[in-house]
A and B are shown apart, each in its own frame.
Chain A
């Protein structure tokens, strides 16, 4: 149980006080009514006596009566019999009392820490105390006990009556009639000769004081000085001291008593004496109380809140009424001065000590005497009869009495009751010892008589008086109470008495620290018949559990919930809510989700009906946002309630549903792109459909950097910032994004529905806030307004349950979009705590208008053959109102496309009938194979980076203007699908904007299919230099070109024609076709292969880049193509020298035509393939070789030493070119001369640009055995070894002599030539080319 204001002793004492009735004359009533009070009310604040009284017990011992309180009530006459239950009006009163007593806002609350729980609740429960007090006061007087029977009666007559004494007489007769006529069972009187106390009321303001005194003297004569009193009052005049502040002791009593009286006067009688029933209460109260909605409490029921709110309105009215009551009766005792207060107090004291206590004392003595005289007789008689009749027999005198369920009933004046009467008297005057012994005796008597109700009453009071005995000679007999309660409840079916008994017992147990027992007791007392009582008792039980030595937190919570449930059943919503809230503290966030949901739901409902929508919203929100384990139907019910709350209460609420995945929010700046417009294909740019790709973003950023660098003369500005069109969680959101005025901003929000029921959203709109910011740059004269806008990050939408039922719940609400940046992880503080960076995704800065360009592509192919040349058109369109300039483009594949100049190519695709990339020059066909030469300026090769300026007219595009440019595309060399990215760059013509430039992205996918494979190789011509056609240089090279049709699509391409082979080089030129085959028109059908041979010669130095073409076919064509720029290698390293010697740097261009059949139409596709020949002897291919599958390599943990520079033999073998000159046939008469000596000239030419040491060894290799046989008949004569040094590019002739012994065919190519660059330390000579046999035929003449 909760803590109480009163101590236990006080409480128990005050529960049983002497009752005094009041009968007033009409005139006296009028006098007191001046104070807005009746006489009983007037006395009420002064009913507790401050001084001690004394009383003598039957043994003549003086007993001190301390702190006595008497209870003064108007006589209320009712003929109805005592009922075992409270009347409905009384129940209503109790309900009202509890309802009006609410905990104060911000009242002191205790924090109890039990285990892991910190509970916060108020330790006192004033509503319970008020309830208890009122309950005890409203106890109906019962026949089996006398405690609340009237002991005395005050007869009040005003002095203004003409003959007051007559009135006294009348009142006295009235009292006698009420008590003895037998008409009324109520009120009940203690003793037949009730003490009558005559009070003369004198109104100082109007009556004659002397006359009053005279009447009083007369009264003293008549009734004795101890039986009458003159009460002077109303001495205060209104007009004089209006401002004087008199304390109002009535206020605390009267609010309750007003209700009380109102209720108690409901059974109106004919008596004129009780017509003070002033009905202040409007009908609303009783209406609301009668309509108590008991059916509301079931959480699972689908009882809608519609009815709840209706009732709620009523309740509100009801709750308001007590205040109006208090206000209406605000000025009590207005005519009373402090002196008058003292008079009243004195009067009470006088009455109690002079009248009441002696009266009680006298009666106790009388009763005692009766009992003592009866004792010997009756006791023996009883026992004797019991013996004779076998016990358990009902005494003969009660045979005629009605039997009831609770045993027999005694007549009011039965001798058995006298002892009880005496006990009650003793109890009232605080003589607990005597009272206990009397109760104890009475109990025995009643039990033996089987008068259960009486016995229970005696048990109860015996226990109470035992408890109240000072010094406590005997322990508190708790089992008496238990028996009493049980008897009251089970045998007598009198719940009111049982409840009183339980309340007393619980309070006593509490005072003894027996919380567990108290709780059990209280819980036992809960029953279905009274929700209010059950609720209050359960709440007290809960308090018991928490107050135990080992607090039982969970039991506390559980019983709080039960109490809350009963409170809500009893219509006490506020109390119910409080109970649930207190229980919530225990269940919260501990995984008891079902219970938690249930509590939250109830809290939500109760809060709502109590007009606390904020709390309701919070509670409901918790149900819906947690990962609920509820079933779908339950969730649906929750949601409906929740939406209803929203609908009714808040205008634009924050909805928790659906869940917004805020970090997944994407923001897109700009228009949604049209992808295609007729034939035109728009640049893809960025769309919301694309997933964010880190690599791609880096690639675009790199491209943009290149563009910006190109636009700013090669320097990327410090404040360069990549343009981000679409912001998401992965992009850099640390800066305010820039958006252009009049361009849309698209926000993509991700919703998630955590519930099992479907939600439908409609009418979504984005709410935003705009903050104008006039930050105009001072340097410029034009004051531009930079507009600074921030979105309020909220989404506004209708949320509705998706139900088939007709009552579709639609709520308009909003949700904030709060984006938290990524978690910081830089500093130590960041790592220690959870910190998040800012995210300015939704806070764009709006800038002045910027140009907006759209790019369209016309006739853009999706598939190309490798190397195919195709023309497309690109259209640039300025769709904004601002001129743009500085158009540039960059691509990941700069060799994929080039812009055709407007001069050479037709402007529009329609005007070009022939889309050939090549211009056919009509020249006279020359017989043979003719080479022509074109010089190409070096600038055309200097395409250093991928950035290209777009050649448009005037370099600007005016608003609304559009221009078209031809675009040459060349299919990628590699087959497969290629992703080609373009980034278009443009800037505004007006400078100084916040956005320096804008970009437009475009991505195309080109599917390249195989066309031709060109493989080229070059080898040094073995022709000696002076034989060569060239007058200068060290001779030519042979270029072999293998062309193979590797196209696999049988249907598409029928055949390829090699139209032309061109070369492009700084040092070399193709000279002449020396194709052995004579077919001029080189056709290749599928899988056919052709071989072309050319001779290449070195050009003159500084001749520029020669661009030679050699016609294969009869027509000549010219083409333009790009090559990589010249490379100047001035290297001193040996390797470089050697390499230089072998360097070729010759690009071969093969131009072809393909005949394609498509849709029964023959198309001619053209294209060119490039082969870059880098070194002599190495084969180069137009196809880059397939990457070999990476082999598994053993992991090496040692760092590898760089390999020692060893000149590769293959390269060294090219240092020296050797030629043998000799007659092909030589006739020698072997008959004459057996030795045939043939002169052979060995020409050595140094191909390199360095000095070379050469060793020539003419000896046969002796090591190889087979060579011995072959060359046995042939030997070199003369000097067989030469050591020579060759200057760079020097040609040297050596004359050798070969000696033959007989005729035959000999291979002269046996000299081994070793060469090494001069200065090379180690001899790493390598034999020079020895492969080709040099055959000589020796004839015998």
Chain B
């Protein structure tokens, strides 16, 4: 289970960010932001090695993460993007997406 899930735009601003222990929100934001460096590194590495083969899942930032989680999240994200009323680049405010994320979050209480 995840404690913080974030969807970040190409330009590095958060489209969606949510974390479960709300008192530590700031810390999570910092963590997510800093980990973008790793993502960037991985993206550039993928671009070099695989060429056109676009593998969306970049791998693990931390070894306990679950691949299924990513697929689920990505499917939901795709749904959000398919919404004709969604303006790409806007923060995500979809209820369905929120629900998926909540399901993936740690159940507290």
Q: Which residues of A contact B (CB under 8 A)?
A: 115-116, 545, 550, 552-555, 557-558, 561, 587, 590-592, 594-595, 598
Given the contacts A115-B40, A552-B37, A555-B37, A591 and B13 also touching, CB distance less than 8 Å:
yes
- The reply to whether B30 and A558 form a contact with Cβ atoms under 8 Å apart is yes
Given the contacts A550-B41, A552-B37, A554-B37, A590 and B12 also touching, CB distance less than 8 Å:
yes
Point out the residue from B14, B30, B41 that lies within 8 Å of A591, measured CB to CB. Answer: B14
A-B CB proximity, top 7 nearest: A591-B13, A552-B37, A558-B34, A590-B13, A555-B37, A554-B37, A594-B29
Query: Which residues of B in the span 23-79 have a Cβ within 8 Å of any Cβ on A?
Result: 25-26, 29-30, 33-37, 40-41, 44
Point out the residue from A116, A553, A592 that lies within 8 Å of B37, measured CB to CB. Answer: A553
Most buried by A among B13, B34, B41, B44: B34
CB neighbours (8 Å) of A598 from chain B are 26
CB neighbours (8 Å) of A558 from chain B are 30, 33-34
CB neighbours (8 Å) of B11 from chain A are 116, 590
- The reply to whether A594 and B33 form a contact with Cβ atoms under 8 Å apart is no
CB neighbours (8 Å) of B41 from chain A are 550, 552
- The reply to whether B25 and A555 form a contact with Cβ atoms under 8 Å apart is no
Q: List 24 A-B contacts (CB under 8 A).
A: A116-B11, A116-B12, A545-B37, A550-B40, A550-B41, A552-B40, A553-B37, A554-B33, A554-B34, A554-B35, A554-B37, A555-B37, A557-B33, A557-B34, A558-B34, A561-B30, A587-B33, A590-B12, A591-B13, A591-B91, A592-B13, A595-B26, A595-B29, A595-B33
Closest Cβ–Cβ distance, residue A591 to chain B (whole Å)? 3
Given the contacts A558-B30, A598-B26, A592 and B14 also touching, CB distance less than 8 Å:
yes
CB neighbours (8 Å) of B14 from chain A are 591-592
Point out the residue from B29, B40, B91 that lies within 8 Å of A592, measured CB to CB. Answer: B29
Given the contacts A550-B41, A558-B34, A587-B33, A594 and B26 also touching, CB distance less than 8 Å:
yes
Interface string of B1-26 (1 = CB under 8 A from A): 00000000001111000000000011
CB neighbours (8 Å) of A561 from chain B are 30
- The reply to whether A594 and B34 form a contact with Cβ atoms under 8 Å apart is no
CB neighbours (8 Å) of A555 from chain B are 34, 37
- 18 new A-B contacts, CB < 8 A, other than A555-B37, A591-B91, are A116-B11, A550-B44, A552-B37, A552-B41, A554-B12, A554-B34, A554-B36, A557-B34, A558-B30, A558-B33, A561-B30, A587-B33, A590-B11, A591-B13, A592-B13, A594-B29, A595-B26, A595-B29
CB neighbours (8 Å) of A557 from chain B are 33-34
- The reply to whether A594 and B25 form a contact with Cβ atoms under 8 Å apart is yes
Closest Cβ–Cβ distance, residue B78 to chain A (whole Å)? 21
Question: Closest residue of chain B to A551, judged by CB?
Answer: B37
CB neighbours (8 Å) of A115 from chain B are 12, 40
CB neighbours (8 Å) of B29 from chain A are 592, 594-595
A594 and B37 alpha carbons, distance in the complex (Å): 19
A558 and B44 alpha carbons, distance in the complex (Å): 21
A1230 and B26 alpha carbons, distance in the complex (Å): 127
A16 and B11 alpha carbons, distance in the complex (Å): 48
Question: Closest residue of chain A to B22, judged by CB?
Answer: A631
- The reply to whether A592 and B33 form a contact with Cβ atoms under 8 Å apart is yes
Closest Cβ–Cβ distance, residue A718 to chain B (whole Å)? 50
Question: Closest residue of chain B to A587, judged by CB?
Answer: B33
Chain B interface helix/strand/loop/mixed: helix
A951 and B94 alpha carbons, distance in the complex (Å): 71
A552 and B14 alpha carbons, distance in the complex (Å): 18
Question: Closest residue of chain A to B23, judged by CB?
Answer: A300
A1142 and B32 alpha carbons, distance in the complex (Å): 92
Closest Cβ–Cβ distance, residue A233 to chain B (whole Å)? 59
CB neighbours (8 Å) of B25 from chain A are 594
Question: Closest residue of chain A to B39, judged by CB?
Answer: A554
CB neighbours (8 Å) of B26 from chain A are 594-595, 598
Closest Cβ–Cβ distance, residue B12 to chain A (whole Å)? 6
A550 and B26 alpha carbons, distance in the complex (Å): 26
CB neighbours (8 Å) of B12 from chain A are 115-116, 554, 590
Closest Cβ–Cβ distance, residue B10 to chain A (whole Å)? 9
Question: Closest residue of chain B to A556, judged by CB?
Answer: B37
CB neighbours (8 Å) of A550 from chain B are 40-41, 44
A561 and B27 alpha carbons, distance in the complex (Å): 12
CB neighbours (8 Å) of A590 from chain B are 11-13
Question: Closest residue of chain B to A558, judged by CB?
Answer: B34
CB neighbours (8 Å) of A116 from chain B are 11-12
Closest Cβ–Cβ distance, residue A542 to chain B (whole Å)? 11
Most buried by A among B13, B25, B37: B37
A598 and B27 alpha carbons, distance in the complex (Å): 10
Closest Cβ–Cβ distance, residue A1202 to chain B (whole Å)? 49
A555 and B37 alpha carbons, distance in the complex (Å): 7
CB neighbours (8 Å) of B91 from chain A are 591
A383 and B87 alpha carbons, distance in the complex (Å): 77
A557 and B37 alpha carbons, distance in the complex (Å): 11
Closest Cβ–Cβ distance, residue A967 to chain B (whole Å)? 60
Point out the residue from A545, A552, A595 that lies within 8 Å of B30, measured CB to CB. Answer: A595
A598 and B30 alpha carbons, distance in the complex (Å): 10
Question: Closest residue of chain B to A591, judged by CB?
Answer: B13
Question: Closest residue of chain A to B13, judged by CB?
Answer: A591
Closest Cβ–Cβ distance, residue A1297 to chain B (whole Å)? 92
Closest Cβ–Cβ distance, residue A7 to chain B (whole Å)? 29
Question: Closest residue of chain A to B8, judged by CB?
Answer: A591
Question: Closest residue of chain A to B45, judged by CB?
Answer: A550
A116 and B36 alpha carbons, distance in the complex (Å): 13
A594 and B29 alpha carbons, distance in the complex (Å): 7
CB neighbours (8 Å) of B37 from chain A are 545, 552-555
CB neighbours (8 Å) of A594 from chain B are 25-26, 29
Closest Cβ–Cβ distance, residue A59 to chain B (whole Å)? 50
CB neighbours (8 Å) of A553 from chain B are 37
CB neighbours (8 Å) of B13 from chain A are 590-592
Closest Cβ–Cβ distance, residue B64 to chain A (whole Å)? 21
CB neighbours (8 Å) of B34 from chain A are 554-555, 557-558
Question: Closest residue of chain B to A561, judged by CB?
Answer: B30
Closest Cβ–Cβ distance, residue A627 to chain B (whole Å)? 12
Question: Closest residue of chain B to A596, judged by CB?
Answer: B29
Closest Cβ–Cβ distance, residue B108 to chain A (whole Å)? 18
A554 and B40 alpha carbons, distance in the complex (Å): 10
Closest Cβ–Cβ distance, residue A601 to chain B (whole Å)? 11
Question: Closest residue of chain B to A631, judged by CB?
Answer: B22
CB neighbours (8 Å) of B36 from chain A are 554
Question: Closest residue of chain A to B37, judged by CB?
Answer: A552
Most buried by A among B25, B29, B33: B33
Closest Cβ–Cβ distance, residue B7 to chain A (whole Å)? 11
A678 and B59 alpha carbons, distance in the complex (Å): 84
A552 and B33 alpha carbons, distance in the complex (Å): 11
CB neighbours (8 Å) of A587 from chain B are 33
Most buried by B among A115, A555, A561, A595: A595
A1125 and B34 alpha carbons, distance in the complex (Å): 88
A591 and B26 alpha carbons, distance in the complex (Å): 13
Question: Closest residue of chain A to B10, judged by CB?
Answer: A116
CB neighbours (8 Å) of B44 from chain A are 550
A557 and B14 alpha carbons, distance in the complex (Å): 17
A152 and B65 alpha carbons, distance in the complex (Å): 62
A115 and B35 alpha carbons, distance in the complex (Å): 15
Question: Closest residue of chain A to B9, judged by CB?
Answer: A591
A553 and B35 alpha carbons, distance in the complex (Å): 10
CB neighbours (8 Å) of A552 from chain B are 37, 40-41
Question: Closest residue of chain A to B44, judged by CB?
Answer: A550
A587 and B13 alpha carbons, distance in the complex (Å): 9
Question: Closest residue of chain A to B34, judged by CB?
Answer: A558
CB neighbours (8 Å) of A595 from chain B are 26, 29-30, 33
CB neighbours (8 Å) of B33 from chain A are 554, 557-558, 587, 592, 595
CB neighbours (8 Å) of B35 from chain A are 554
Closest Cβ–Cβ distance, residue B106 to chain A (whole Å)? 20
Closest Cβ–Cβ distance, residue A588 to chain B (whole Å)? 11
Closest Cβ–Cβ distance, residue A252 to chain B (whole Å)? 39
A257 and B59 alpha carbons, distance in the complex (Å): 54
Most buried by B among A116, A550, A558, A592: A592
